[in-house]
Amino acid sequence: MKNELESKAEQLLEKCDTLSLASINEQGFPRVCVMGKAKTNGYLEIWFSTGTSSKKTSHFAINPKASVCYYSGGDSVTLVGNVEIVNDTDAKKSLWQDGWIKHFPKGIDDPEYCVIKFSAKEATIYIDDQIETYSY
């Protein structure tokens, strides 16, 4: 059951369209990308779309460790967890957004269209001058 701070973290995520997603590159360094969220399930599960040939997709294929951060008006949430590359056609169809056609000209069936799912194992929430870290 979520406490008040966790509920605020979920509400903050609803307001944020742009998030930072970090992968671990081939040399072991974090690589941060700014991403638009495709879907959320609470604040511990976030779905993104990207290209199958993107650097982050190749990073996650080797090392699924990731971090997501989002921020608005002085409040922030930093999540640490794992990414799964999702190849399920139904999931890809359910997440598809028409604006993505500029990145994936063949639409849902574009071989470059890739979906990734982030699942948090830890959250550090800083909202309303309160800070707390939770492990899941």
Averaged pLDDT, 79-100: 95
* CATH of 4-135 among 2.30.110.10, 1.25.10.10, 2.120.10.60, 2.60.120.1030: 2.30.110.10
Q: Which of 135, 130, 132, 91 is nearest to 114 (CA)?
A: 91
Contact present, 132 and 89 (Cβ < 8 Å):
no
Contact present, 62 and 32 (Cβ < 8 Å):
no
Averaged pLDDT, 38-67: 97
Q: Please state the pTM of the whole predicted model.
A: 0.95
pLDDT at 2: 80
Dihedral, 92, 46, 21, 14 alpha carbons, nearest 10: 120
Contact present, 45 and 117 (Cβ < 8 Å):
yes
pLDDT at 85: 97
**Average pLDDT value for the chain:** 96
